[in-house]
Structure 1
Amino acid sequence: MQLFLLGLNHKTAPVEVREQLALAPAQLPHALRGLREASGVREAAILSTCNRAEIYAVGPNDSLPRLEKFLQDFHHLPLAGLNPYLYQRYDADSARHLFQVACGVDSLVLGESQILGQVKTAFEAARTHGAISNILDELFRRAISCGKRARSETAIGRGALSVGSAAVELARQIFGPLSGHTVLILGAGKMSALTAQHLVASGARCVLVANRTHARAVELAEQFNQEKPIAEAVFWEEFPQRLAEADIVIASTQAPGFVVTVEQVAAAMKARRQRPLFLVDIAVPRDIEPGAHQLDNVFLYDIDDLQGVVNNNLAQRARELQQVESIIEAEVTDWAGWYRSREAQPIMAALAQHAAQIRDKEVAATLAQLPNLSPREQEIVRALAKSISGKLMHAPLRHLREAGEAGSADVEVLRRAFSLELAADHANGKSLNGAMAQETENSEGMAAEDDEAGDRA
């Protein structure tokens, strides 16, 4: 059995190709079912976003051609047309790729946080529809944990990456929490509306909208009022008088000259008793007379200033990349050890079962020769035998586990040394049996007692 990744993303395929492989949430159950039936893989998960389409699967070593055929048949696309855009990964490289995705280092925008939620959604969908088992379950859990580590231990996800979010970041530096503050929008274009939406989402309580075409101001105000009445449309001629009410002004008109003058800002500041005023000028040509920034407690930022904030944040994220990659490599190493250790589990189970059978056989023979033992004395004999076998098995089981994690050939050596025959379900890596679990518990318990005795000595 092998772990596979087959996919394409924004780095390998243009949007006109990516959109042909996009899956709506309602399509996922059908796709997961079809994928497993068509390819014969044991486990499967599909990560589908606007920037990537990826299949993670566990199946026989020859599964990849069937995964490719599934893509072709399900999406009704010729494989020859897809092949130039597809990438393949195997085993630990598949894990590394998913961890990079979850951390946001494979995203179009470095460190973006939305992808981690999309990885969680793909995981939950695969679990809900019974498409994954222990290997992909472990893989996705570790990927999500890795993504959380990257964001909590580094600054890879911090800092505004759009003009609107940069405006919010600067506003918070000026005012602290934005709750209770008023925003004035000059011009009802897309950029000013998006910036205002960022501010409202961050707590701004009131929005005034002024536009030369009043109907457009009314329309935009209604958009902000869909959840609760926080916005008011203002006639264009009135905005200079309303300027003093605003804590934050967003200007984005298409006027050929300045629409907000230094004199208007000075008058507003006098009426505000010099309380801070944040002016965001995202128009080209500019809407706010540059001299306004010389007034006390007036903070004026134009589109270049905001883009500078974004660029600085991107540079900061890039500086965090090396630390994030170190986290990813550590997580991949842990994952690879767990993944390789599965090869030792059937042998550990067989060894534990072998020891338990010998122990039980010898205990039964001994008790048959001692018919006068009381039930309590018989239990003492059984406990003694279990203790001895546990201590004897501790070192071999521990070595098997460590050898499996390291991918060592010692696993097969130990199997032959004990003449172990693997049950079919163990050979397929389905599960550990009760004998192994019990024997492992006994061996570890005895080892702990030995350690304590050594400490006391």
Structure 2
Amino acid sequence: MRLVVIGVNHKTAPVALRERLALVGDDVNVALKQLEALTDGSVIVSTCNRTEIYALVPQTLATSKPASQSSVSQKSASQVLVSPSAGAQVANPAIAPVSNNAFSSSATLSSAAISAHIIKIKTWLATFKQLSLTEVDPYLYVHRDTHALTHWLRVAAGLDSMILGEPQILGQIKRSVHLAQEENTLSNQLGWVVDQVFAAAKRVRNETKVGTQAVSLSYAAAKLVTQIFDDLPSRTLLVVAAGEMNRLVATHIAGLGVGRVIICNRNPERAEALAAELRNPNRRVEVRTLQELPQVLADADIVSSCSGSMDLLIDKTMTVQALKRRRYQPMLMIDLAVPRDIDSTISRIDDIYLYSVDDLQHVIAGNIEQRRQAAVDAELLVSQLVVEMDRRFQVRQVGKDIEQYRSCTQGQVDKLLHESLAQLQQNNATPEAIITELSRRLTQTLTHAPSKLMRKAAREGDSELLDFVVSGLQDGHRSHR
């Protein structure tokens, strides 16, 4: 398949090295362009947890067989023939066999050639990031052929992620593929592999439960929202404090399609920065002071709070007043703060769904175990899908080989026919003699390759191959009777 994967991830390299090897922004565009000279198509996936190069090793690295193996003897190459009309011996170069390297898609890449080229890509990566190969190489992993395909599918399905089964990586791979398409570094063959990976990853996620349960606080919070509310464009999210944890929660919940977001924060600059991340044409985002929290609470369907305050920010009185103004429409409150921002007694109020960080952690702990159990099924399915993809690739590849073989054979036949027509025009022999000679030469041309294969199988004692070829030829003759 010629597919290779070269990279580092959270399992093989410390975060300091991953930061230095990260390819982001314009780096990716430049890197893809430079990889054109080293690959037959490439995709770069770079996230906080991994930097990986998915590439096809160039077919031009294919090594030809020695002359003694790839060509017949001088005598058989010229095939001395006797012309019935002239009684003289004539050379027939037209029936010289086609050497293996004439079929570029059939030419095999030696393991040594692939290994040498992998070192070139490794060296390029280290140089591109202004590092020495000796500094980087101990942390790099390399996968080839079906192992590379298995790795790619496991990554796309979330089986190789820090959080088992997380769905974000598939979107990150799709963005990486889209960028490769824009830079014209996604060859047709690599594009076919990508399509197979995406289809297989979708099957893994649909047919197993590896990604069905929430296993991060932000993802668990988003799941709660979808379980309690529908018609999300009409809902309002209130974000109390704009720290990192709340930023993740807000990003997940806003990504569900919430139509309005209110951010209350002590620091207006940080609130505005978060607002800029969340704002889009279909979402209204407002920034308010923390003192305005009692007034805006009634507007919120969903509240996510995670401040560093030592005091309660939302008490029972404030919540009851907000519910009255909301006409007792339900509210989901998520308190991720320690110490807590929201009065725990609020959970006893009807129409209030209050979850603390401990509540979410309990949910996550159970879900992680379920995902681990589901991962066993997912890994088995990945193995089956890789076998299927490899078979489809071989069928696709042999189709090209057959097309090239037929084209080459047709060229030989056309040459023989042209020579025979020329002899007819020159009246060098009777039509019967020329047709007889043409028939004999065509027979030799068309039977040369299978005859050579049978002799090779006999010499090497490969009875299974010999029986397969002989029975295949016999079946072919019977089918044309």
The 3-state SS of whatever aligns with 2:233 is coil
Whole-angstrom distance in 2 between the partners of 1:346 and 1:327: 30
Deviations 1:248-283 (A, max 9, x none): 333334333434333443444445443323222222
Q: Which residue of 1 aligns with 2:381?
A: 327
1:260 to 305, 314, 317: 314
Please list, as runs of the form range in 1=range in 2, the aligned pairs for 1:27-66 lying within 5 A after superposition.
Answer: 27-37=27-37, 39=38, 41-55=39-53, 56-59=55-58, 60=61, 61=113, 62-66=116-120
Residues 253 and 14 (structure 1 numbering): CA distance in 2 closer, same or farther, change over 3 Å?
closer
Deviation at 1:300, TM superposition (A): 1.2
Residues 97 and 360 (structure 1 numbering): CA distance in 2 closer, same or farther, change over 3 Å?
same
Is the CA contact (8 Å cut-off) linking 2:263 and 2:275 kept in structure 1?
no
1:149 to 193, 203, 227: 203
Please list, as runs of the form range in 1=range in 2, the aligned pairs for 1:424-443 lying within 5 A after superposition.
Answer: none
Whole-angstrom distance in 2 between the partners of 1:214 and 1:5: 44
Deviations 1:76-123 (A, max 9, x none): 322111121111222211221122222221122222333323333444
Residues 365 and 320 (structure 1 numbering): CA distance in 2 closer, same or farther, change over 3 Å?
same
Is the CA contact (8 Å cut-off) linking 2:331 and 2:353 kept in structure 1?
yes
Is the CA contact (8 Å cut-off) linking 1:247 and 1:277 kept in structure 2?
yes
Q: Which residue of 2 aligns with 1:175?
A: 229
Whole-angstrom distance in 2 between the partners of 1:5 and 1:175: 42
Is the CA contact (8 Å cut-off) linking 1:119 and 1:144 kept in structure 2?
no
Whole-angstrom distance in 1 between the partners of 2:329 and 2:274: 26
Q: Which residue of 2 aligns with 1:440?
A: none
Q: Which residue of 2 aligns with 1:231?
A: 286
Give the letter for the 1:317 counterpart.
Answer: R
Whole-angstrom distance in 2 between the partners of 1:183 and 1:167: 12
Aligned residue pair count: 386
Please list, as runs of the form range in 1=range in 2, the aligned pairs for 1:283-322 lying within 5 A after superposition.
Answer: 283-322=337-376
Please list, as runs of the form range in 1=range in 2, the aligned pairs for 1:10-159 lying within 5 A after superposition.
Answer: 10-37=10-37, 39=38, 41-55=39-53, 56-59=55-58, 60=61, 61=113, 62-127=116-181, 129=183, 131=185, 133=187, 135-159=189-213
Higher mean alpha-carbon deviation, 136-145 vs 112-121, is at 112-121
Tell me how large the CA RMSD over aligned residues is: 4.5
Whole-angstrom distance in 1 between the partners of 2:246 and 2:257: 17
Q: Which runs of 5+ in 1 are unaligned?
A: 370-384, 397-407, 419-442, 451-457
Residues 57 and 355 (structure 1 numbering): CA distance in 2 closer, same or farther, change over 3 Å?
closer
Residues 151 and 345 (structure 1 numbering): CA distance in 2 closer, same or farther, change over 3 Å?
same
Deviation at 1:302, TM superposition (A): 0.8
Whole-angstrom distance in 1 between the partners of 2:185 and 2:269: 50
Please list, as runs of the form range in 1=range in 2, the aligned pairs for 1:148-227 lying within 5 A after superposition.
Answer: 148-210=202-264, 213=266, 219=272, 223=276
Residues 201 and 142 (structure 1 numbering): CA distance in 2 closer, same or farther, change over 3 Å?
closer
Is the CA contact (8 Å cut-off) linking 2:332 and 2:352 kept in structure 1?
yes
Whole-angstrom distance in 2 between the partners of 1:158 and 1:144: 18
Q: Flag the structure with more relative contact order, 1 or 2, with Cα contacts below 8 A and sequence separation at least 6.
A: 2
Q: Which runs of 5+ in 2 are unaligned?
A: 62-112, 425-438, 451-462
Q: Which residue of 1 aligns with 2:434?
A: none
1:281 to 335, 340, 344: 335
Is the CA contact (8 Å cut-off) linking 2:333 and 2:353 kept in structure 1?
yes
Deviations 1:378-399 (A, max 9, x none): xxxxxxx9xxx9xx99xx9xxx
Whole-angstrom distance in 2 between the partners of 1:26 and 1:412: 57
Taking only the aligned residue pairs, the percentage that are identical comes to 32
Is the CA contact (8 Å cut-off) linking 1:58 and 1:136 kept in structure 2?
no
Is the CA contact (8 Å cut-off) linking 1:209 and 1:217 kept in structure 2?
no
Whole-angstrom distance in 2 between the partners of 1:250 and 1:3: 45
Give the letter for the 1:20 counterpart.
Answer: R
Give the letter for the 2:15 counterpart.
Answer: V
Is the CA contact (8 Å cut-off) linking 1:210 and 1:217 kept in structure 2?
no
Deviations 1:201-252 (A, max 9, x none): 43444445555x485798579656775654262562x644654443333333
Q: Which residue of 1 aligns with 2:304?
A: 250
Whole-angstrom distance in 2 between the partners of 1:130 and 1:219: 37
Deviation at 1:306, TM superposition (A): 2.1
Deviations 1:143-167 (A, max 9, x none): 1222222233334333444433322
Is the CA contact (8 Å cut-off) linking 2:272 and 2:287 kept in structure 1?
no
Residues 311 and 273 (structure 1 numbering): CA distance in 2 closer, same or farther, change over 3 Å?
same
Higher mean alpha-carbon deviation, 88-97 vs 219-228, is at 219-228
Is the CA contact (8 Å cut-off) linking 2:41 and 2:186 kept in structure 1?
yes
Please list, as runs of the form range in 1=range in 2, the aligned pairs for 1:362-373 lying within 5 A after superposition.
Answer: none
TM-score, length-scaled by structure 1: 0.67
Deviation at 1:75, TM superposition (A): 2.7
Residues 107 and 358 (structure 1 numbering): CA distance in 2 closer, same or farther, change over 3 Å?
same
The 3-state SS of whatever aligns with 1:108 is coil
